[in-house]
Structure 1
Amino acid sequence: MFDLLDILPLSLLIFACAVTLLGGFVKGAVGFAMPLIMISGMGILIEPQIVVAGVIIPIVVTNGMQVARAGLGSAWDSLKEHWRYVLVVCVMILVSAQFLRSIPANAMFIVLGVPVVGLCAIQLVGWHPRIPPKHRRVFEWGAGAVSGALGGLAGTWGPPTVLYLLALDTPRARQMAVQGVIYGLGSLMLFLGHLRSGVLNAQTWQLSALLVLPAIAGMWLGFKLGDRFDQERFRRATLWVLVLAGANLIRRGLVG
């Protein structure tokens, strides 16, 4: 059995827990961004593959909580309607996860940073595509492939999923149920994919399991306190912070 301190010194373990607590709080308060916060935040000081490994089990647990909160009936209806997108996302997460360990460290910072900046910027400007019904099937396959590829490499497929649902003019109440299914099944694929890739291994699973505790604590705080402030303003502030953090990851990848 490996000691956690063999993976990270105590100061970085505390830092990782603090970032995860913040990510859980934001997810509980406004329903998104925990993987983005964990990746961009921990990536400031921690090596990329360790960051991705650390994200995996907290994502599985918190997305399971989100599915349970939405209700299994809604989850099943959502799966029947969006099965093509869900299928492609899950397959692509499994496939792309196998390439993570072959990417050099500097390039990995860019792989993590570019999606964070790009996806957050898209949400800040409020852009989303409009897809006519006759093109829906092609769009589902294509959007699912992009989302799954990002998921396997960078651990996040939430923002592309939001854009996908907006493009289909999915009602907001329905969006939450669909997101719960996609995030829940996708997180299981991420877990299985990185067991196979070796990113989640005898050392890193301990870190990932430890980060479940601050993730749940943060979500609980977010559920309790989320209604006490302007959620739209809080959401935009979070996105701006993520843009800056993602830009810093890109800088690290470019300058070494």
Structure 2
Amino acid sequence: MFISIMVVVFGLAGLIKGLIGLGLPTVSMGLLSLIMSPLQAAALLIIPSMLTNLWQLLAEGRIGFFIRRFWTLLLGIVVGAQWSFLPSLGHGKISELLLGIMLLLYGIYGLVAKDLPNLAAYEKYLSPFVGYLGGALTVATGVIIIPIVPYLQTLHLKRDQLIQALGLSFTASNICLAIFLQQHIVQNSMQFAWACFAVLPAILGMWLGKELRQHLNERRFRQYFFIGLIALGAYMSFPNLGFT
């Protein structure tokens, strides 16, 4: 039964990531947190998320260019993850609430945000601050969504550049999360085995998503994706707020 859940969750998350360049940690953390603690879900997520992010990052080349451009953003992520002002993953209900709120807010943002301002002129000032918030939220919830993704979208990068910039940010945040988990929990061989197993459906789903990208209505798919995030975020948030 658990194998089937893993295949469906990571296959679906990989498919979405292949289609729109993001969604693997968001979808998998959200769904897995329905049946296990965010701490356990994050431990299962590290390896498949890391490998798919590296694939996304390396696919287009020019890594040095993106590192030079976004090095202050990456530094902010590291600092935020190491010296976070937010509760960590180990705080159970608080982490679930934060994760649910992030999913809910990002789903709403994805549906309503249309003409985003161009903040490229302020990039050198905003990147360290945005990176710090992103790193802090990564170790608090296990995913990096807000404010990294909206911020990179306001820089009005080309589609392939945006996907690669997201891959770079996600890779950095995954490394920080892996270090955090190593410092705060004891990994056992079973967790590592399940994490390795999750790579296969994630990679297959991502490959299928990339193949389908040219044949599906991406705009409509994005709408369905964000509506799903709103529903999942609301389901996770409201019980933790006492609305049961």
TM over 0.5: yes
State which of 70, 82, 88 in structure 1 corresponds to 2:76. 88
Task: Say if 2:12 is the partner of 1:22.
Answer: yes
Q: How far apart are 1:76 and its partner, in Å? A: 0.8
Three-state SS of the structure 2 residue aligned to 1:236 is: helix
State which of 111, 136, 156 in structure 1 corresponds to 2:123. 136
Task: Say if 2:31 is the partner of 1:51.
Answer: no
What is the distance in 2 between the residues matched to 1:160 and 1:177?
A: 17
Q: 8 Å contact 1:110–1:253 — kept in the other structure? A: yes
The C-alpha deviation readout for 1:187-224, integer Å capped at 9, x for no partner, is 22222221122164444223222211111111121122
State which of 138, 148, 171 in structure 1 corresponds to 2:158. 171
What is the distance in 2 between the residues matched to 1:120 and 1:199?
A: 33
Aligned-residue Cα RMSD (Å) equals 2.4
State which of 224, 232, 235 in structure 2 corresponds to 1:248. 235
Q: How far apart are 1:75 and its partner, in Å? A: 1.3
5+ long unaligned stretches in structure 2: none
**How many aligned positions are there?**
242
Greater CA drift, 40-49 or 152-161: 152-161
What is the distance in 2 between the residues matched to 1:55 and 1:147?
A: 18
Greater CA drift, 166-175 or 147-156: 166-175
Task: Say if 2:77 is the partner of 1:77.
Answer: no
5+ long unaligned stretches in structure 1: 1-10
> Normalising by structure 1, what TM-score?
0.84
Q: How far apart are 1:178 and its partner, in Å? A: 1.9
Task: Say if 2:59 is the partner of 1:61.
Answer: no
Q: Which runs of 4+ in 1 moved over 6 A?
A: none
State which of 173, 180, 198 in structure 2 corresponds to 1:193. 180
The C-alpha deviation readout for 1:85-134, integer Å capped at 9, x for no partner, is 1111133234449953541x22221021111111221121116455373x
Q: Percent identity?
A: 24
Task: Say if 2:98 is the partner of 1:111.
Answer: yes
What is the distance in 2 between the residues matched to 1:192 and 1:117?
A: 27
> Normalising by structure 2, what TM-score?
0.88
Other-structure match for 1:5: none
Three-state SS of the structure 2 residue aligned to 1:190 is: helix
State which of 134, 147, 150 in structure 1 corresponds to 2:137. 150
Task: Say if 2:220 is the partner of 1:233.
Answer: yes
Three-state SS of the structure 2 residue aligned to 1:56 is: helix
Q: How far apart are 1:231 and its partner, in Å? A: 0.8
